[in-house]
Amino acid sequence: MTDQRVVELFDEFMELTKDFIIRHGLRYEDYAAVTQYLIRVSEAGEWPLWMDNFLEATVDTTSYGDGPWTPSAIEGPYYKPGAPLLSRQPYTLPMRPDETGDKMLFRATVHNPAGEPLSAAVVDVWHATDKGLYSFIDAGMPEDFILRARVPVDENGSTEFRSIRPAPYEIPKDGPTGDLLNSVLGRHTWRPAHLHFRITAEGYKPLVTQLYFDGDPYLDSDCAEGVKQGLIIPLGKTEADGESWTLGQFAFVLQPQ
């Protein structure tokens, strides 16, 4: 049984590709170079990385839709479902005992477009260390939910969690994806520092987004093109428990289902 939509999409994709070959007069040596490159990406197991880096941002723009709610952003390849649901306040993301980095306190609210608090929302957050590394992903990081957790909100849709400030990071650069960005295209493999969120509440579309920080050197040249203006926040300072903390805040608005 054929899926008519797949047939139509495939046919159109091939037509566009053939037109492209003709328009640019591509020859056998170009064809061989592309084929070899595609094989390298396969052999390196980099297709998820390649797709997320070059195409996910476009799929994101056609998926969540614009409206009176928080813009979505790419999920990226590093999300892990099943992070621990925090229950003891003050909520603190799991860390290694010797976790380094600026202490960061993050305050969030979750509302619907009418301004009503979504008290049953869960804020699933994950981010890199102050060296730009992710748990489960980077060699040397534990296979454990480090700097990853699900945070509940209160009856006002408010919550607050403690963590450390993540650093900008480079996507893997030693394989064919990094090679293309660095050597062939003359770009770079950096992403600006960010916090990843996946916010869910019954009756609302899950919001997958990221927040970036004012002043980051890679905001205008994110290799994954994931930055949106409405997702850049200023970082402030606050006091808690007699200590100074970097403060981030954001009011999330979810899209009704």
Which residues contact Fe ion (rule: CB under 5 A)?
Answer: 76
b/e burial code for range 157-182 (CB count within 10 A of at least 16 → b): bebbbbbbbbbbbebeeebbbbbbbb
Dihedral sign (CA 236, 237, 240, 245): positive
CA distance 193 to 235: 12
For the bound state, the minimum distance from the C-beta of residue 226 to Fe ion, rounded and expressed in Å, comes to: 8
Q: Are 229 and 87 in contact (CB under 8 A)?
A: no
Q: Which is nearer to Fe ion, 73 or 180 (by Cβ)?
A: 73
Q: Which of 84, 96, 184 is nearest to 140 (CA)?
A: 96
Q: Which is nearer to Fe ion, 91 or 212 (by Cβ)?
A: 212
CA distance 108 to 123: 9
Q: Which is nearer to Fe ion, 76 or 176 (by Cβ)?
A: 76
For the bound state, the minimum distance from the C-beta of residue 126 to Fe ion, rounded and expressed in Å, comes to: 8
Q: Which residue is nearest to Fe ion (CB)?
A: 76
Q: Angle at the Cα of 200 (from 196 to 205), degrees rounded to 5?
A: 105
Q: Which is nearer to Fe ion, 76 or 248 (by Cβ)?
A: 76
Q: Which is nearer to Fe ion, 157 or 166 (by Cβ)?
A: 166
For the bound state, the minimum distance from the C-beta of residue 196 to Fe ion, rounded and expressed in Å, comes to: 5
For the bound state, the minimum distance from the C-beta of residue 194 to Fe ion, rounded and expressed in Å, comes to: 6
For the bound state, the minimum distance from the C-beta of residue 195 to Fe ion, rounded and expressed in Å, comes to: 9
